[in-house]
Structures are given as C-alpha cells and as structure tokens.
Amino acid sequence: MSQKRRFALGLAVFTMLASTTLAGCSSSGTKSADSASPSPAGSTTVSPAAKSSDPVKLEVIENAAAMPAPDADFIKQALDKALGLNLMVTSYAAVADYQNNLNVRVASANYPDLFQIVDRQALAQLSQSDVLLDLTPYLDKLGSVKKFLGEDNLKKGYYNGKLYAINKAPQIDYWTYWVRKDWLDKLNLKVPTTLDELYAVAKAFTENDPDGNGKKDTVGITGGSGGGFHTFNFNGGVGAAISPILGGHGVGIPGSVYIKDGKAVDAYHDPAMIEALTDAKKYFDAKVIDSEVAANTGLQHQQKAIQGQAGIVYIDWANIKKDQFVEQTKAVNPKAEWIQIAAPKGPAGQFDGTWDSGKSPMMLGIPKKLEKDPVKLQKVFDLLNYVSEGKGAELVQYGIEGKHYTLENGKPKPTDLLGKEGGYIWSYQFTGRPELEYLSARFVNQASYIDFTSKQPRIQAVNGYLDIPSGYNPAEADRYGTEEIIKFLYGKRPLSEYDQFLKTLDTQFNYKAFQESAQKQLKSLGMTK
C-alpha cells in the first residue's frame, strides 16, 4: 500500500484530533547575524551542502505567531547567512488553520521539511502512516539538540520505541495563588499558610466587606484556564481554583497521571481523592468560590481580580504583575496590593497544583521523504543544532547583539527594541529555550515572581509521555469525568456515589484500558517499577 494511501485511510481521524495551542511568551528575542558562527554549533560535521555557495531552501510550517515579511525578518536573514539557507517559515496563528493546511499537505504528499505535530495522537497517526522520519538512526547528527534537551525530553518524541519527533524544551509553571494583602490587613488576617487558614481567609473575604464599600459584593477565590499544562482537560476555572487544595491532599487534577512510590497513579483512582474533594466541596458549600468559576473563560478571572471582585486568584505571574496589569489594578484602587503565596499546607504536604512534566510547548517532525535527500536532511539537522546552543540559541532568543540586547557579564540584557520587534521570534526557537533563565532576563521587573513560582512544589504528572490506547476515547472520558466531579463539588451528586462514578468511568468509558496502557508505557520508559 502506498504511503499516500495509508495516510488517506486515517485522514478523517487525524482531522478530528484535539489540539491545543501551547505558545510561549509572545515576546522572544534574537541574536546578531554578524556574531553568528559560520557553522552549526554542536553539529559533528559540516555537510558538503553547508559549504555550498548555493543556499538550500527549507520550508517550515507551524502553529505560532504571525511572521513578518522576509525582508523585515531579521532572524531569517541571520539564519540564512549563518547556515547557507533560504529558510521559509509559515506560521498559522489559529490552530484550525494550521491543522487544515497540514492535512492537505500530508494527504497530497507535499510535505514541508519541518512541521509541527499538534499532540501525541497526531504523532501516532503520522508515524503509523509512514509520514515521519525515524530519527533514531540519526541521533549522532543531533549532538547539540541532545545536549540541550536531555534524555527525558527526548523520550517525549518516541512512539513504539522509535524517535519520531523533537520536543521543544519544557516551559515552567507560571501559576500560584495571589492574595490581596491590603484586604488581609484591613481584616487583621495573616497570609494563609495552611488549607484551614486559606478557607478562613476566603470566607472572610466573602462575608466581611474587605473593600469597605458596605456591600456584600466580593468573593474569596476565583480562577480561570491555566494554559493547558496543569488543568489538563478538567474544567479550567474550577481546576485552577482548587488545584492547590487538591495538592494539599497529595492529589492531582482529575485526569492527571503521576507516580507515587514508584507506581503510576491516576487522580480519579487516587485513594486520597474523596478526602480531597470533600475538603474542596467545603468552599463551594460556603459560597466562597466565584459562582461563575466553572464558566470563566479567557482572562475573566484576571479581570475579576483587577476589578476588586475577588481576593484570591490562581493565576500566572504575567497576567497579574506585568506593568500594564499593575497599572489597571491601581486605576481601580491605588491601594490594592497583590502578593503571591506559597501553596497552603495540607495533610499530604503542599503542592501548588499539578504540572505535566511530559508536555512540551511543541513537537516537530521531519518527513520520511527527506531520507532520499541527504543534503536537505543535513541542513534540517544543522538548523536544529544551531538554534540549540551558542550563538544560534542567542539569536533566536534575544535578537541582534547591540540592537535587541547587550551582554553584561556574559549574559544577555534585552533592550526595549526586543519587545517592539521580537514578538514573532518564538517561532524560530525550534528546540525551545532555557525558560527560567530567559524569562528572568526578559522580564527583569518580574524576576522575583518568576523565581518564586518556579520553586513551588508541584504534583508532577506524566500524561505527556502517554499514547492513547486503541478503543479509548479521551474526549468522551474527560467530558464525563469533568461533569461528574463538578457535580460532586457543587453538591449535585453525593460523594457516597464516587465508587459508582469510577465503575462507569472504567467500563462505559473504557478508562481501565487507559490505566493499563499507562502502566505498561511508563514501565517501558523506565519511569515506574
């Protein structure tokens, strides 16, 4: 059966794959063409193609920020000069547009030379359809990539024992609880450090008029979508609001899989889940959580915090402490003061939510057809190696030296121009960036908040390493699981029926197949006993 025919048989499934846009901060940086080394950093050899005077055309497509015109794209110009390329990157801001374009390209066997794979279901589909190049035999040609990403990140690109994708370096979790300190002071309350204290503060913020306007128009806690890493497919607002509460009981967000005592545990079946839900339900019973939390979308939770409607919000540092949001807050109330707090301690310790260590901002694949074009294939390897370390990495992170950044004590210091001109260059960070180092340099005024956030303990989920077994529909199982957990929290279904819920989830929605598959996959990866 032809490659094109094999893919056509599965195209309908591939088109329906769920996908999430996992974009990093929109402001990225780059590095100087003049300071770029003439050969790829970290590559073992420079291919004959790299020495040729004729640039090699490479086409990349991905779901990311819109790109400037080639004559205004200083990253393209620098990479072309350094590597002997004519690099063309097409970036689709809408994931549906990207997916539609890729489907058409793959179905007609008109493959780009490097392209984004939206999720592990797509990885499975494309590899099974013989579209992707098995990179396992070429690992020695990806020296800088391996060095930068490390073994754990490389594992994320494997399917059926073979490496089919390069995963970008992981981001860090940006989310913590933030509390109105001026409200604490007004009500003579201390910063909550335990779950009991968190509940007391949330109750006081709801009932004791912390803004002093004589009206009962404030609420304790709100939350919203958390970017897909720590909320999984569980309702974004509810998941965000209660994530550290569940964490205090050692329980992950519903739908997450994590490792305890060397064994894989899924949150739904975690023995501590009923106790955790009982504790979380207390907040809903007392109406100290935003009544609209389950429906919050976009930045509604942020605006409720900025407008003084809530006193505790689970949110990323960027959407509460970037300069423009501080200004918005002060415009509503000049005395408003938001502080971030550590995860409240519970009976199982303190975990500031759930973070999927298996996720990556993006997976990139190379079409199998390139094995017949060794010159172009080597150029793809050269490109990936070059942006992974040294001058190439600086180029795609900070811009042109002396223009978009300067070096101080050997470390990049971005200029204001980077923020104005560099909003698109995340698209060129094909293997990612050292996230904490980059963010601390890029957002100096918020560096202390970023550092605090990065040090918070999290339940380390491993869902991103897992492939979906045949016969299991994750979208249907997630929908049912989310609906029922929310019913338990809102008192619309008694927790005495939790075992009955699990039985339905395991059988009718075949969650047991996912559990068993997860156990086998994690063991094969050496992550469990």
334 has pLDDT over 60: yes
What is the C-alpha separation between 329 and 465, in angstroms, rounded? 40
Q: What is the mean pLDDT of residues 199-220?
A: 97
CA distances 298 to 303, 396, 430, 446, Å, are 10, 29, 27, 22
Q: CB neighbours of 6 closer than 8 A, spacing ≥ 6? A: 128, 129, 130
pLDDT reported for residue 357 = 86
Least confident of 134-138, 275-279, 367-371, 441-445: 441-445
pLDDT reported for residue 237 = 86
Question: pLDDT digits over 114-170, tens only?
Answer: 999 998 889 999 999 999 999 999 999 999 999 999 998 998 999 999 999 999 998
pLDDT reported for residue 207 = 98
Higher pLDDT, 66 or 33: 66
51 has pLDDT over 70: no
pLDDT reported for residue 358 = 84
Q: What is the rounded (10 degree) CA torsion for 26, 27, 28, 29?
A: 150
Amino acid at 276: A
Residue 471, classified by CB atoms within 10 Å of its CB into exposed (0-12), middle (13-18) or buried (19+), is exposed
Amino acid at 404: H
What is the C-alpha separation between 366 and 371, in angstroms, rounded? 10
Q: pTM of the prediction?
A: 0.83
Q: What is the mean pLDDT of residues 291-305?
A: 92
231 has pLDDT over 60: no
Q: What is the rounded (10 degree) CA torsion for 294, 298, 303, 306?
A: 100
Q: CB neighbours of 467 closer than 8 A, spacing ≥ 6? A: 120, 121, 123, 124, 159, 517, 521
What is the C-alpha separation between 262 and 280, in angstroms, rounded? 27
- Domains of the chain in sequence order: 3-27+41-170+360-388 (3.40.190.10), 172-356+443-529 (3.40.190.10)
Question: pLDDT digits over 345-365, tens only?
Answer: 999 999 998 999 888 889 999
What's the chain's average pLDDT? Answer: 88
Q: What is the mean pLDDT of residues 266-284?
A: 97
